[in-house]
């Protein structure tokens, strides 16, 4: 291996090790160790505790349901948006794409506050229902429940889902679609049998983005979830600060990490299966 | 480039360099006191006076929560700040993690003038040493809408009254909520509970959830949820929240119901990594000046630790009815209960 090769590897691998390998290692180490006055003890008690509490597992279940729903709904909304951008004439596409991902440039907190002012008891939707006489007093139907967490997640993560879908659509050769049309396929048929299978890696990536971003989010549930807004990220968060139970926090973090890796592996398999079916 | 202009260029670079470096050099000569505190605890009125009197500069960092403060202090083992300000209940945690250092009482003569309950605080005296000096106090009051309640609610039980379903908000904090429930259940020491008492506390806290519109995490967050949703009752973070609510047009008042309430005493501590310990003592002593307390009470609305007449003036007459935050029997148990309550 030449010096240049070694350098290339170093440049690629060093940051990976430093910014991903090291923190992950530290997380794992924290989850199985505890230190008291400098004396370190190794134990699996924290991992056992993280996995044995029925309340925590129930919250994990609720969190997964919300995050899977976020992934499905985000893709369902982002896919037509990405298709629309992709089917514009080439010179308008960059502008249409920019509009699509513009919300990414906005502060996350600003978006959550905006959602709250739309959904709140004195918010837009309640005012609308009140003035139209549909309800006679403001309803908490929109805010401070699990539905509002889902709605806010979807609004936050649609751009993150739309971008990978668009990028995979862009790689679908236009003449494939034309060929299909020439052979008598309707536009819908061409979409279903040619475009979507070719774009499937992007769609899977989009679902994964939305899912993982939602899974790690502990601010949104706090701000819009109300008394039923407990998610797993918040349990992890609660172990830091004055609680000073970094070991249990790390163990809970490992649980979340395992779920994320499982989702990654699952989507990898799904993506391969879809591509294989297409290649048949 | 000719020789002359090259020389000129070098001179210019030198001049620019000196210009950029000059303030840094001046800054290095001036002593800096790094204060990690809460908004309202370092108002310009007395900070500027202290800086002028001691030829130093205060570098202020504000925190958003006790948890953030502890995490930041723990992260640098107290090396990033000279002065830190938190409540009596956290003192044990900081001492145990060796993040603060004992104070030299000789350098703090101003303590003699304090109201006795604040001068003698058992939770500030650990291992026979004094660790912190109070500079403000307050409660976690019940804030109520005067429109819904022409007279102040007499009992905290009003928060559980189904009549006010979805009109109640409460702060999101394990220790404060478990302690409040313990007070309401009549347990003598809300910071030292048996497992049976903790189980009762948990049940009581789950019961209130039907009435809750939301929990809030943070001072402004509570104010904003209250106003945006027309809430009527709030288990609040402090008296100044009522002031902020009134500023936003909500007609509210504070009360400490008959069961009593949770009190906090915020104190200043010197960190383990303080650079100029003598200057840090001077700052704590300067904050014991009557004029400082007056600004904090009248401008921001914090309770005064020196002068009870100031407290009466701003309606804070209940200092002796509060159970001041102390270290709980177990953080882990309380965090677990609080997570289970929120998950229920």
In a domain, B269, yes or no: yes
User: Do B244 and B279 belong together in one domain?
Assistant: no
Cβ pair A242:B214 closer than 8 A: no
In a domain, B282, yes or no: yes
Domain end (from B200, B234, B255): B255
Residue A178 β-bridge partners:
none
- pLDDT interval class at A36 (50, 70, 90): confident
How many of the other CB atoms lie within 10 Å of CB of B335?
A: 23
What is A140-177 written as a DSSP string? TTSSSSHHHHHHHHHHHHHHHHHHHHHHHHHTS-HHHH
Question: Looking at residue B16, what is its pLDDT?
Answer: 55
Which of A59, A120, A242 lies nearest to residue B67, judging by beta carbons?
A: A242
Which of A116, A225, A227 lies nearest to residue B209, judging by beta carbons?
A: A227
Average pLDDT across chain A, whole number: 90
**Cα–Cα distance for residue pair A66/A58, rounded to 1 Å:** 13
Is the per-residue pLDDT at B1 higher than 90? no
Average of per-residue pLDDT across B169-173: 93
In a domain, B207, yes or no: yes
Question: Looking at residue B5, what is its pLDDT?
Answer: 57
Is the per-residue pLDDT at A37 higher than 80? no
In a domain, B334, yes or no: no
A76-116 tens-digit pLDDT: 999 999 999 999 998 999 999 999 888 888 888 899 999 99
Question: Looking at residue B301, what is its pLDDT?
Answer: 82
User: Do B34 and B169 belong together in one domain?
Assistant: no
Question: Looking at residue A267, what is its pLDDT?
Answer: 86
Question: Looking at residue A141, what is its pLDDT?
Answer: 84
B94-125 tens-digit pLDDT: 999 999 999 999 999 999 999 988 988 888 99
CATH of the domain at B104: 3.40.190.10
Listed as own residue / partner, the contacts of A33-41 with beta carbons closer than 8 Å and 24 or more positions apart are A33/A247, A34/A247
Question: Looking at residue A137, what is its pLDDT?
Answer: 83
User: Do B162 and B225 belong together in one domain?
Assistant: yes
B212 interaction partners in chain A (CB closer than 8 Å): 226-227
Please tell me the total count of domains within chain B. Answer: 2
In a domain, B329, yes or no: no
Percent over 90 (pLDDT), chain B: 71
Which of B67, B172, B214 lies nearest to residue A144, judging by beta carbons?
A: B214
B213 interaction partners in chain A (CB closer than 8 Å): 121, 140, 144, 226-227
Question: Looking at residue B29, what is its pLDDT?
Answer: 56
User: Do B268 and B248 belong together in one domain?
Assistant: no
What ipTM was assigned to the predicted interfaces of this complex? 0.86
Cβ pair A244:B90 closer than 8 A: no
B318 in contact with A at a CB cutoff of 8 Å? no
User: Do B133 and B274 belong together in one domain?
Assistant: yes
Percent over 70 (pLDDT), chain B: 92
B8 in contact with A at a CB cutoff of 8 Å? no
Distance of CA A56 to the CA centre of its chain: 21
Domain end (from B233, B255, B277): B255
In a domain, B9, yes or no: no
Cβ pair A240:B67 closer than 8 A: yes
User: Do B156 and B192 belong together in one domain?
Assistant: yes
Question: Looking at residue B160, what is its pLDDT?
Answer: 97
Is the per-residue pLDDT at B24 higher than 70? no
- Region label for B145, one of left (φ > 0), alpha (ψ between -120 and 50) or beta (otherwise): beta
User: Do B292 and B271 belong together in one domain?
Assistant: yes
How many of the other CB atoms lie within 10 Å of CB of B34?
A: 21
In a domain, B14, yes or no: no
User: Do B53 and B191 belong together in one domain?
Assistant: no
User: Do B201 and B185 belong together in one domain?
Assistant: yes
Domain end (from B238, B255, B272): B255
User: Do B276 and B128 belong together in one domain?
Assistant: yes
A55 interaction partners in chain B (CB closer than 8 Å): 339-340, 343-344
Average of per-residue pLDDT across B167-185: 95
Domain membership of residue B173 as a residue range: 142-255
Question: Looking at residue B8, what is its pLDDT?
Answer: 58
A121 in contact with B at a CB cutoff of 8 Å? yes
Cβ pair B229:A122 closer than 8 A: yes
A123 interaction partners in chain B (CB closer than 8 Å): 228
Which of A116, A222, A226 lies nearest to residue B217, judging by beta carbons?
A: A222
B336 interaction partners in chain A (CB closer than 8 Å): 53
User: Do B29 and B122 belong together in one domain?
Assistant: yes
Cβ pair A117:B228 closer than 8 A: yes
Question: Looking at residue A174, what is its pLDDT?
Answer: 83
* Interface subset of B 139-178, CB within 8 angstroms of A: 166, 172, 174-175
Q: What is the DSSP letter of A133?
A: T
| C-alpha distance across the termini of chain A, in Å | 40
User: Do B210 and B232 belong together in one domain?
Assistant: yes
Cβ pair B212:A227 closer than 8 A: yes
- pLDDT interval class at B2 (50, 70, 90): very low
Is the per-residue pLDDT at B149 higher than 90? yes
In a domain, B305, yes or no: yes
**Cα–Cα distance for residue pair B63/B85, rounded to 1 Å:** 10
Token look-up 């030449």 returns: A2
Quickly list H helices, A102-143. 108-119, 124-131
Mind listing the domains of chain A with CATH numbers? Answer: 1-31 (no CATH), 45-279 (1.10.3720.10)
Is the per-residue pLDDT at A191 higher than 60? yes
Token look-up 């929240």 returns: B241
Question: Looking at residue A158, what is its pLDDT?
Answer: 95
């Amino acid at each position: 291996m030449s010096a240049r090769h070694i350098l290339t590897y170093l440049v690629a691998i060093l940051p990976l090790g430093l910014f991903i390998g090291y923190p992950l290692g530290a997380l794992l180490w924290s989850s199985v160790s505890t230190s008291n006055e400098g004396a370190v003890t190794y134990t699996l008690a924290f991992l056992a505790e993280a996995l044995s509490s029925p309340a925590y597992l129930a919250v994990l279940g609720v969190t997964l349901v919300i995050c899977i729903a976020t992934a499905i709904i985000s893709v369902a909304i982002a896919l037509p948006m990405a298709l629309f951008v992709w089917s514009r004439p080439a010179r308008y596409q960059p502008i249409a794409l920019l509009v699509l991902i513009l919300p990414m440039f906005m502060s996350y907190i600003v978006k959550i506050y905006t959602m709250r002012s739309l959904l709140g008891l004195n918010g837009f939707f309640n005012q609308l229902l009140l003035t139209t006489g549909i309800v006679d007093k403001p309803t908490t139907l929109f805010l401070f429940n699990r539905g509002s967490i889902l709605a806010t997640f979807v609004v936050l993560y649609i751009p993150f889902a739309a971008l990978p879908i668009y990028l995979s659509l862009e790689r679908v050769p236009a003449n494939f679609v034309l060929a299909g049309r020439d052979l008598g396929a309707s536009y819908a048929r061409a979409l279903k049998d040619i475009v979507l299978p070719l774009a499937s890696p992007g769609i899977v990536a989009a679902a994964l983005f939305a899912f993982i971003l939602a899974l790690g989010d502990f601010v949104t549930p706090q701000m819009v979830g109300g008394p039923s807004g407990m998610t797993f990220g918040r349990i992890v968060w609660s172990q830091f600060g004055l609680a000073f139970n970094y070991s249990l926090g790390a163990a809970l973090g490992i649980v979340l990490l395992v779920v994320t890796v499982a989702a990654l592996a699952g989507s990898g398999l799904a993506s391969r299966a879809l591509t294989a079916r297409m290649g048949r | 480039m000719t020789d002359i202009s090259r020389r000129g260029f070098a001179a210019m670079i030198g001049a620019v360099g000196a210009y950029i470096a000059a303030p840094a050099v001046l800054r290095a000569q001036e002593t800096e006191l790094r204060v990690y505190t809460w908004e309202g605890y370092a108002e310009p009125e007395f900070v500027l006076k202290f800086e002028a009197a001691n030829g130093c500069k205060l570098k202020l960092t504000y925190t958003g929560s006790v948890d953030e403060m502890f995490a930041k202090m723990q992260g640098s083992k107290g090396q990033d700040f000279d002065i830190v300000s938190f409540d009596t209940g956290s003192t044990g945690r900081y001492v145990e993690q060796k993040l603060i250092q004992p104070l030299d009482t000789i350098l703090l003569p101003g303590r003699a003038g304090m109201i006795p309950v604040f001068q003698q605080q058992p939770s500030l005296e650990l291992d026979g040493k004094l660790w912190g000096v109070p500079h403000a106090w307050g409660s976690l009051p019940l804030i109520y809408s005067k429109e819904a309640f022409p007279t102040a609610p007499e009992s905290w039980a009003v928060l559980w009254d189904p009549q006010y379903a979805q009109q109640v908000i409460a702060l999101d904090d394990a220790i404060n909520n478990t302690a409040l429930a313990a007070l309401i259940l009549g347990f003598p020491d809300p910071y030292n509970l048996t497992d049976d008492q903790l189980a009762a506390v948990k049940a009581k806290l789950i019961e209130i959830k039907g009435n809750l519109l939301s929990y809030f995490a943070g001072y402004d967050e509570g104010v904003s949820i209250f106003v945006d949703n027309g809430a009527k009752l709030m288990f609040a973070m402090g008296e100044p929240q009522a002031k902020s609510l009134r500023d936003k047009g909500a007609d509210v008042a504070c009360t400490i119901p008959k069961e009593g309430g949770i009190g906090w005493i915020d104190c200043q501590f010197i960190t383990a990594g303080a650079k100029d310990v003598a200057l840090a003592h001077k700052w704590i002593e300067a904050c014991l000046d009557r004029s400082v307390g007056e600004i904090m009470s009248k401008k921001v609305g914090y309770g005064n630790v020196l002068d009870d007449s100031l407290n009466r003036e701003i309606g804070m007459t209940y200092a002796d009815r509060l159970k001041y935050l102390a270290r709980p029997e177990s953080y882990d148990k309380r965090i677990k209960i609080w997570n289970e309550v929120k998950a229920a």
